Amino acid sequence: MVSKDIVFRVKQLREQISYHNHQYYVLSKSEISDFEYDLMLKDLEALEKKYPELINENSPTQRVGSDVSEGFKQVEHKYPMLSLANTYSFEELDDFHNRIAKTLQEQWQYACELKYDGTAIGITYRGGKLLRAITRGDGTQGDDVTANVKTIRSIPLVLSGNDYPDEFEIRGEIFMPHAIFEELNTIRVEQGEAPFANPRNAASGTLKLLNPQTVAQRRLDCLLYFLLGDNLPFDNHYQNLTKAKDWGFKVPNSLVLCKDIDEVKEFISKWDEKRKELPYDTDGVVVKVNSIKQQQQLGFTAKTPRWAIAYKYQTEQGSTRLLSVDYQVGRTGAITPVANLEALQLAGTTVRRASLHNADQISLLDLRMDDTVFVEKGGEIIPKIVGVNTDLRKPNAKPLVYATHCPECGTELIRLDGEAKHYCPNQAGCPPQIKGRVMHFASRKAMNIDGLGEETIELLFSQGFVNDIADLYDLKYEQLIGLERFAQKSAQNAIDGIEESKKVPFHKVLFGLGIRYVGETTARKLAMHFGLLCSLKSATFDELIGVDEVGERIAQSIVNFFSDEKNLKLIQRLEEAGLNLRIEEQNKTLSDEKLNGLSVVISGTFSRISRNELKELVLSQGGKILSAVSSNTDLLIAGDKMGPAKLNQANKLGIKIISEDDFFTLIES
């Protein structure tokens, strides 16, 4: 029987951890250090492991998620999850206002809030505890993603106070903050994966993953904006949401009451520019009649409530004709479909191509050849197809059939479980994969071989001089001097660059090998942990997952790489060529690393060293490089001409900011 002291200690730890979760993830405040928080969490985990009868599904320890998921079951919504009618003009907003005026006899107010660009969720609480979380689905029923939603730390598992209804539903938007999105895409690119197109896709895709542990690692966030239930505390939307803050919910501070349609327009105009400063995506403003009684009077259409409307900010969009679809092959064999379009002007540039991402995206759009498609520039940079004008579709148009074989080598494509991309498995014989691996190996972040750009490698491959990365070290000056792109100086520079690359540190060689999922940071961690390539080569799966930041997927990829006889022969040739396949003794000690475990953002220009050299120095001191400032940032190294947005965000979050000179003082102390 568990003693009362243990029961009390577990209860106390859960309450303390939940309190600090709310302070940090909802209120953006931190009363204790990460170290103190981790100690409390480890203490609770240890007690629950020792006394399993005390484990509670709403314990903070359960946020990390389970390894096992049996898929998502469909659950019917208690209250239909309808869409909102959209408008893009103040004239249509006036029409909405006039329709309400014809129905309501008394005065009314509008509640205005930003429209968040993520994925909608409905969360039910019973007895103050999170019961279930359901996606929108078709509006009538959605997927039960409760296990994944429990990993989102801004969503309370147990409510604060005691004045909440016994059962109610709260709805909101799950999203991925910009900083997390940039960090995730940086890692995906490093690991040879296609980056997510935008934070909305990343959030939606993450929420549908079957492994809650992976969901937890991606640090989704949630803003709540609507209460539903029989015994809500107030008869109006604004006060109910304000009260929900007291229960622990993350309710947007932008929510305001407007007494008339002119104030609504002022709110919309104000946020058209101001929203760009937010750390997450918004695409409009939601306008709701505040009184619940008046909402009921106004009622619903078959698809939308008559008492609410979404004003959407204009995104520059154009329509053009889909001419064809190409399939590009990356160095990892990943296939990316690309749409070829009739040229159109969009956001000041001529657009002729747009990424289609994967087969699922093509199926979702229901694309046909010669379709008239709508194209937007996501974030004003990346062109994307967002829809099809079916009114202009030819009667006999047939759906696009995704490629079944590699467009380069003819090998049948495969699609791995849990992955959106198709792959060409012919690593040894597919030309784009071979050339891509050589380009990656010679790139600045890997071996940094001058004079070996894309066109040069293309030439060397076409001449039969280079078919893998080891062939680079067999090249002779006499072979190059006779080629079209090489004069005496350029030929000698290339040979010298290849020779100089033999001095490159072991972790860069390891990154250059192009092992799937092994990016710059992971390569450095592996190099520091094992010291020698031969030790890494013989490491077991269990030994690999014991390395910091190496999960099961990376570990299995490494095991697979070193199980391939072709790769082993390749490494033997690199060793014979004299490459650096071990960590220098003086670099093995971690105890002297001044930035060990710290997440660092570098911004601006620097006088003493370049940004890349500064990045290398941070990594060599045990730091981790982030691309954007977030609550996970420990240090911002600020140079000249740094962007004001990063500086403001760092100041807002209380992140330590140091200059270039301060940094050198720190690491030399």
Q: How far apart are CA 231 and CA 222, in angstroms?
A: 24
Q: Closest by alpha carbon to 229, among 243, 217, 215, 218?
A: 243
CATH number, domain with residue 286: 3.30.470.30
- In this prediction, residue 214 has a pLDDT band, given cuts at 50, 70 and 90, of confident
Nearest 10 degrees: CA dihedral of 419, 424, 426, 431? -130
How far is the CA of 332 from the CAs of 191, 253, 505, 557, 574, in angstroms? 9, 44, 23, 12, 20
Write out the two tokens for 289: 């009649």
Number of independent structural domains in the chain: 5
% of the chain surpassing 90 pLDDT: 45
> Global pTM?
0.56
What pLDDT is stored for residue 591 in this prediction?
A: 40
Residue 34 pLDDT exceeds 60: no
Name which residue leads in pLDDT, 18 or 470: 470
- One domain, residues 54 and 135: no
Name which residue leads in pLDDT, 468 or 614: 468
Name which residue leads in pLDDT, 133 or 191: 133
Residue 421 lies inside a defined structural domain of this protein = no
Q: Over the stretch 639-669, which tens digit does the pLDDT of each residue have? A: 887 877 778 888 888 899 998 888 888 887 6
- What mean pLDDT is reported for the chain? 87
DSSP 120: E
Residue 183 lies inside a defined structural domain of this protein = yes
Query: What amino acid occupies position 131?
Result: L
Residue 406 lies inside a defined structural domain of this protein = no
Question: Which positions are annotated as active-site residues?
Answer: 115
Q: Over the stretch 535-575, which tens digit does the pLDDT of each residue have? A: 999 999 999 988 877 888 899 999 999 999 999 999 999 99
Among 30-44, 59-73, 210-224, 390-404, the range scoring the smallest mean pLDDT is 59-73
- In this prediction, residue 236 has a pLDDT band, given cuts at 50, 70 and 90, of very high
Q: What's phi and psi for 259, nearest 5 deg?
A: -85, -20
What pLDDT is stored for residue 276 in this prediction?
A: 80
Task: Answer with the one of 563, 587, 611 that is the final residue of a domain.
Answer: 587
Residue 586 pLDDT exceeds 50: no
Q: Which of 185-189, 514-518, 590-594 has the highest mean pLDDT?
A: 514-518
Residue 268 lies inside a defined structural domain of this protein = yes
Q: How far apart are CA 219 and CA 177, in angstroms?
A: 9
DSSP 248: T
CATH number, domain with residue 633: 3.40.50.10190
- One domain, residues 100 and 218: yes
- One domain, residues 306 and 323: no
Residue 191 pLDDT exceeds 70: no
> What is the bridge-based pairing of β-strands 167-175 and 119-126?
antiparallel
Residue in the block written with tokens 């000249």:
640
Q: Over the stretch 472-496, which tens digit does the pLDDT of each residue have? A: 999 999 989 878 878 888 899 899 9
- One domain, residues 304 and 322: no
- One domain, residues 198 and 253: yes
Helix segments in 208-366, DSSP class H: 212-217, 237-246, 261-274, 292-298, 359-365
What pLDDT is stored for residue 240 in this prediction?
A: 96
Which residues, in sequence order, are bridge partners of residue 334? 423
Q: How far apart are CA 558 and CA 551, in angstroms?
A: 11
- One domain, residues 327 and 383: yes
What pLDDT is stored for residue 255 in this prediction?
A: 95
User: What totals of helices (H) and strands (E) does the chain contain, helices first?
Assistant: 24, 20
DSSP 522-557: HHHHHHHHH-BHHHHHT--HHHHHTSTT--HHHHHH
- One domain, residues 517 and 538: yes
Angle at 218 between CA 25 and CA 168, to 5 degrees: 55
- One domain, residues 471 and 571: yes
Q: Which of 8-17, 171-180, 546-555 has the highest mean pLDDT?
A: 171-180
Residue 423 lies inside a defined structural domain of this protein = no
Residue 416 lies inside a defined structural domain of this protein = no
Residue in the block written with tokens 């014979």:
576
Residue 414 lies inside a defined structural domain of this protein = no
Instruction: Please count the other Cβ atoms lying within 10 Å of the Cβ belonging to residue 548.
Output: 11
- One domain, residues 634 and 554: no
Length of the chain: 669
The boundaries of the domain holding residue 644 are: 599-668
Contact in structure between 431 and 393 (CB atoms under 8 Å):
no
CATH number, domain with residue 566: 1.10.150.20
CATH number, domain with residue 384: 2.40.50.140
Write out the two tokens for 351: 């657009």
- One domain, residues 267 and 355: no
Residue 190 pLDDT exceeds 80: no
- One domain, residues 232 and 267: yes
% of the chain surpassing 70 pLDDT: 92
Q: Which residues contact 541 (CB under 8 A, 6 or more apart)?
A: 555, 556, 559
The mean pLDDT of 585-590, rounded to a whole number, is: 47
- One domain, residues 196 and 296: yes
Task: Answer with the one of 280, 312, 344 that is the final residue of a domain.
Answer: 312
Task: Answer with the one of 273, 294, 312 that is the final residue of a domain.
Answer: 312
Residue 401 pLDDT exceeds 60: yes
Residue 401 lies inside a defined structural domain of this protein = no
Q: How far apart are CA 612 and CA 633, in angstroms?
A: 19
CATH number, domain with residue 14: 1.10.287.610
The mean pLDDT of 389-418, rounded to a whole number, is: 90
What pLDDT is stored for residue 192 in this prediction?
A: 63
Q: Over the stretch 339-391, which tens digit does the pLDDT of each residue have? A: 999 998 876 678 899 888 888 888 888 899 999 998 887 544 568 888 888 88
Strand, helix or coil at 570? helix
Q: How far apart are CA 394 and CA 371, in angstroms?
A: 8
Q: Closest by alpha carbon to 551, among 196, 187, 205?
A: 187
Among 154-163, 215-224, 309-318, 461-470, the range scoring the smallest mean pLDDT is 309-318
Residue 107: left if φ>0, alpha if ψ -120 to 50, beta else—which one? Answer: beta
